[in-house]
Chain A
Amino acid sequence: MSANGDGGSAAAAAPPPPPLEWKFSQVFGERAAGEEVHEVDIISAIEFDKSGNYLATGDRGGRVVLFERTDLKNNIHRRDLERADCPISRHPEFRYKTEFQSHEPEFDYLKSLEIEEKINKIRWCQTANGALSLLSTNDKTIKLWKVQEKKVKKVSKMNLDPLHAQANGSSASPSVFLPNGGCSESPYTHARNDLSFHPGGIPSLQLPVVSSQETSLVARCRRVYTHAHDYHINSISNNSDGETFISADDLRINLWNLEISNQSFNIVDMKPANMEDLTEVITSAEFHPSHCNILAYSSSKGSIRLIDLRQSALCDNHSQLFEEHETSRSFFTEIIASISDIKFSKDGRHILSRDYMTLKLWDINVNSGPVATFQVHEYLRPKLCDLYENDSIFDKFECCLSGDGLRVATGSYSNLFRVFGCVPGSEEATTLEASKNPMRRPTQNVARPPRPSSSATRAVRRGKFQQERKPRVSMPMGTHLTPLRSCCIWLGIQPKTQSPVLLQTACTSTMRKNKVKKKKKPSLSLRKCFVFCSREVRLDSGFFVGAVAMLFKDLNYVIVPLLRR
């Protein structure tokens, strides 16, 4: 369960930091008892921005919800428990900021394909001019959104009576709309250019007086990047140069300029001439955080390739390959080797990868093997056969590194996610769990030995298994495992005050593909989002916060427990 790092890490010299203590902090979008969970409400993407001040979630209904950090002195939602442990002034909290419909369901008439509105990935872009900007993607289309405060305009004084103007407006308005969106000018606008005005101007004319005290947040789609992917987009990643990004589907990676939406360059093409020869697909791709020319992508065969955009315009040949060959081979070896997510560490020295059973940390200068391997849910290994039968083995989990590179985190089943210390010598391995009772004692750090009950039927086994993991939650028999899919941590110095260090974790949970008929979209409302808070012992008044988004199909409501090491 512990990191078996063997040097090579930048932080090797420093002693491992003391483990984090996690506390429940916040939950957003909690369901009332009896309220049904709609498919469209399930969160499918989550991402903190670079500063950690904003959090974006995307859901299956194509909506993006933004949360922002608030440093309000007193928050009425704060729980007593937290108040006891955290100095109020330093406690980071999030509040709902805004939400918008990013993608709509579409139909590709050329290919007779329905395109889901589900948000696959969200990535934040450089902020400029106080406006937030982010990229969101579904299976085929990437969009660049700008979210900006806009003054609410109230025009109070006009030259013409608004009613009067409206009555005439239809005929006298300078532009008449044509069906193609153009606008034709009515004859009198041409005539007006000949009008000669008195040099001093006409005193009776006045500019509209606009009063605007209030502001509202407006989300606007600035660019749509589309028609570049034949397969489903699995990742997007911004480049450190601030002008380009990549999008990766199963077989290709394309490079875009943020400013240009009608053109992209293919940089990796894994498509074989004959699709029957297909043995490997791209599962995830990411740019190096500081070197604009390096990007990494992972494959279903368990390898990570590093490519250097400087070498060639077409990067089908990788410059480095990271692979680990399993010593013992079984039927499942290849399946569970498939990497579902990769992330660069903030300094760009390491790459974290997640396959079905493990998290691996790679040093980009050492391609003989990972510098550390963390077992996420080793107790499932004897059950691979069952997991294969119900397709759970193909579940995809995301992973993340903290900004200081000291910890890694990923999701698991049964509403759990795991945080490991990745500094060599660190024994930290925390399991966080979402359960009905927030006051419960935390699950222990080291995973319990699995207790398989092989004689029972699969349904019973699974039910039992879940009850073992979460004894106080009653789960109906035969429900599916709920993979806690994505998880990201952010850790860095808070930009303004420089003193506290924040750790933020975000996870999303997706349900197994159960054939739920899409129901009517509920009106826009808050989606679930949990924020964990943790106290770092060594730092004075430094608190760690994580946000976890979860949704459980079979629970009417969700409560996140307080977990403590």
Chain B
Amino acid sequence: MAMIDEPLYPIAILIDELKNEDIQLRLNSIRKLSTIARALGEERTRKELIPFLSENNDDEDEVLLAMAEELGIFIPYIGGVEYAHVLLPPLETLCTVEETCVRDKAVESLCRIGAQMKESDLVDSFIPLVKRLAAGEWFTARVSSCGLFHLAYPSATELLKAELRSIYGQLCQDDMPMVRRSAASNLGKFAATVEPNHLKTEIMSIFDDLTQDDQDSVRLLAVEGCAALGKLLEPQDCIAHILPVIVNFSQDKSWRVRYMVANQLYELCEAVGPEPTRVDLVPAYVRLLRDNEAEVRIAAAGKVTKFCHILTPEIAIQHILPCVKELSSDSSQHVRSALASVIMGMAPILGKDATIERLLPIFLSLLKDEFPDVRLNIISKLDQVNQVIGIDLLSQSLLPAIVELAEDRHWRVRLAIIEYIPLLASQLGVGFFDNKLGSLCMQWLEDKVFSIREAAANNLKRLAEEFGPEWAMQHIIPQVLEKISNPHYLYRLTILQAISLLAPVLGSDITCQKLLPVVVAASKDRVANIKFNVAKVLQSVIPIVDHSVVEQTIRPCLFELTEDPDVDVRYYAGQALHACDSIMMAS
């Protein structure tokens, strides 16, 4: 055993713990690998640490994951880019493990290293590595190799390039669907590095094979490739090669493939340009909006606004709006819900007249939907429609919807609507709010569910921020303070909470004049829970109010509480007094 100097002791432990029995300690050492490397120096890191790590390839997945991550940023510790090839062997091993996240991380790190390597080094060490992985015995190696071609390809010689292309083609026809999936999802990246003439021939034929794969899971990844390849190709090639594929996919037997198309279609439209979009893709999209499978309709409905963005208003009104109308009465609530969450965004696209004429009836019917999520989604995006047509047209139908949601049986629904109240208030304006919604906000303070009461208190704070202290003085404070005499202590507790939230917003004057007396009075409550919450509230109020108020009102009240029979009350009162003192000291 070597003698270790005192300052080196921690690093020595760190190194020893690379082989500790305890996985947490090993993990910790691996995360500090850069420190170990610096302690060993560049040469010994290359010659000892890296081979040591390569040996250590049967560790737990967590350790391997951390190792894969660390190695990606290891170039500075091994002596710079010229030695980068040293890092490849351990990462190559990590590319073959069966845990996906480790492999992904290893590929990511390899990409990071490969991007910094010199061209000659890439040819000498990186490309052979890619070829070895691609010919790996286990599918895991082949899966990993797919994500490395885009780095290997540009620096390869013509001959090697041809070989790499053909290897990639083979990977796309691998026996294992996992490999084909990886090849399909990495095709876009790889294609971006391939020369245009090969792109049109070899890559397109690879792509064609993938689009006809037996496995749904491969085909649906090929859908993503459509958009990526489409952007690389010349528009006319794109129309010739990609467009028919998209149209085919949109009528695929598998709903999962159609679902992917529905999600990706607007990107594909950008790739093919406006005219083919109008002729081919709009009908395809309309089909998807009317798909048999609810999941596909959900995806399509969720993209309706994005899709309309790239169309002219006329086309949108002519082709898309009729479908939207159908979807608003879809049999699946999830479809309606997805539609409701985006439909408001259509208003700016269609313009005022079309919105009033066509969209408004749809909004109104969705606002009356039996499914609360649908109504909530409409309400949550109210600001978008307000910008176009003003809220007046909607307010008449809005109010019953809000009231109904506010009294919904499910507290989560009530919670959701409370969270939208400040938004509604800002859109509807003070006048409307005072008339219609003010009483609701007070009603929630006495809800049976704690989360609702808590949200209600928070809501009052946000309203006070929105409309200002003066409005709050008139419309919130009196009603709130009245409720402190509620016979049930839980409701009194809510009021205390509301006070502590409102105080910072309302400022020192109102706090001292209106709020503080109520809090001090509550310190005489018969319930201990109230009393120690009084102590907490007082503590939170201290920074807001003047020193004189602290000395004259708060401190005496807290002193009194420190002599309470209840231990918790004494504890919190003590805490508050302590805070008092420290603030006084600081000033």
Contact = CB atoms under 8 A, between A and B. Distances in A.
B15 A159 contact: yes
B562 interface: no
B508 interface: no
A254 B449 CA distance: 34
A130 interface: yes
A202 B13 contact: no
A165 B52 CA distance: 21
A169 B12 CA distance: 12
A146 B4 contact: no
Contacts of B176: 126, 242
Interface stretch (A279-287, A309-317, A454-462): A309-317
A192 B38 contact: no
Interface stretch (A48-56, A79-87, A170-178, A426-434): A170-178
Given A197-B39, A293-B254, A310-B253, A242 B8 contact: no
Interface string B1-30: 111110111111111111100001100110
A312 B48 contact: no
A506 B578 CA distance: 75
Majority secondary structure of chain B interface residues (helix, strand, loop or mixed): helix
Nearest to B97: A129
A208 B255 CA distance: 55
Interface residues of B, number: 63
Contact of A310 (B97, B181, B255): B255
Given A174-B10, A174-B17, A199-B41, A241 B177 contact: yes
B255 A165 contact: no
A340 B292 CA distance: 34
A167 to B, nearest CB: 12
Nearest to A174: B28
B471 interface: no
Given A155-B19, A310-B253, A312-B292, A192 B35 contact: yes
B43 interface: yes
Contacts of B96: 128-129
A188 B294 contact: no
Interface in A85-142: 126-131, 133
A313 B294 CA distance: 8
Interface in A300-331: 309-313
A173 B9 CA distance: 11
B19 A197 contact: no
A210 interface: yes
A313 B40 contact: no
A523 to B, nearest CB: 24
Given A150-B58, A183-B24, A197-B38, A204 B99 contact: no
Contact of B18 (A177, A204, A207): A207
B144 to A, nearest CB: 11
Contacts of A201: 38-45
A205 B15 contact: yes
B215 A241 contact: yes
A497 interface: no
A261 interface: no
Given A174-B25, A202-B40, A311 B255 contact: yes
Given A126-B139, A128-B98, A193-B35, A202 B8 contact: yes
Given A151-B58, A201-B41, A202-B39, A192 B10 contact: yes
Contact of A207 (B2, B49, B61): B49
A222 interface: yes
A207 to B, nearest CB: 5
Nearest to A200: B41
B1 A312 contact: no
B58 A160 contact: no
Contacts of A292: 177, 214-217
B39 A160 contact: no
A193 B10 CA distance: 11
B4 A160 contact: yes
Interface residues of A, number: 62
B140 interface: yes
Contact of A189 (B10, B214, B255): B10
B32 interface: yes
B178 interface: yes
B510 to A, nearest CB: 43
B55 interface: yes
B177 A158 contact: no
B216 A160 contact: no
A199 B41 CA distance: 6
Contacts of B294: 313
Contacts of A133: 98
B152 to A, nearest CB: 22
Contacts of B55: 210
Contacts of A164: 1
A208 B15 contact: yes
A159 B573 CA distance: 54
Contact of A259 (B3, B16, B100): B100
A129 B138 contact: yes
B236 to A, nearest CB: 33
B293 interface: yes
A259 B98 CA distance: 11
B41 A202 contact: yes
B454 interface: no
Interface string B543-587: 000000000000000000000000000000000000000000000
Interface string A144-160: 00101111010100111
A206 interface: yes
Among A131, A207, A242, max chain B CB count under 10 A is at A207
Contacts of A155: 19
B209 interface: no
Contacts of B39: 197, 201-202, 205
A242 to B, nearest CB: 5
B256 A159 contact: no
A451 interface: no
A240 interface: yes
Contact of B24 (A177, A198, A200, A207): A177
B295 interface: yes
A78 interface: no
A275 interface: no
Contact of B58 (A148, A174, A188, A312): A148
A313 B97 CA distance: 32
A263 to B, nearest CB: 15
A319 B254 CA distance: 14
Contacts of B15: 159, 205-208
Contacts of A175: 24-25, 28
Contacts of B292: 312
A242 B177 CA distance: 7
Nearest to B7: A195
A310 B14 contact: no
A313 B138 contact: no
A73 interface: no
A13 to B, nearest CB: 26
Contacts of A35: none
A168 B7 CA distance: 15
A199 B25 CA distance: 27
A207 B52 contact: yes
Contact of B178 (A153, A169, A243): A243
Nearest to B59: A150
Interface string B108-146: 000000000000000000000000000000111000000
Contact of A165 (B3, B13, B49): B13
A161 interface: yes
Given A210-B55, A241-B216, A313-B293, 6 more contacts: A126-B178, A155-B19, A161-B1, A174-B13, A220-B60, A242-B139
Q: Enumerate the 6 nearest inter-chain pairs by beta-carbon distance, A residue then B residue, closest first.
A: A201-B41, A310-B254, A159-B12, A128-B98, A208-B19, A128-B140
7 contacts: A126-B178, A160-B1, A174-B17, A189-B10, A205-B39, A242-B178, A309-B256
Interface of B: 1-5, 7-19, 24-25, 28-29, 32, 35, 38-45, 48-49, 52, 55, 58, 60-61, 96-100, 138-140, 176-178, 181, 214-217, 253-256, 292-295
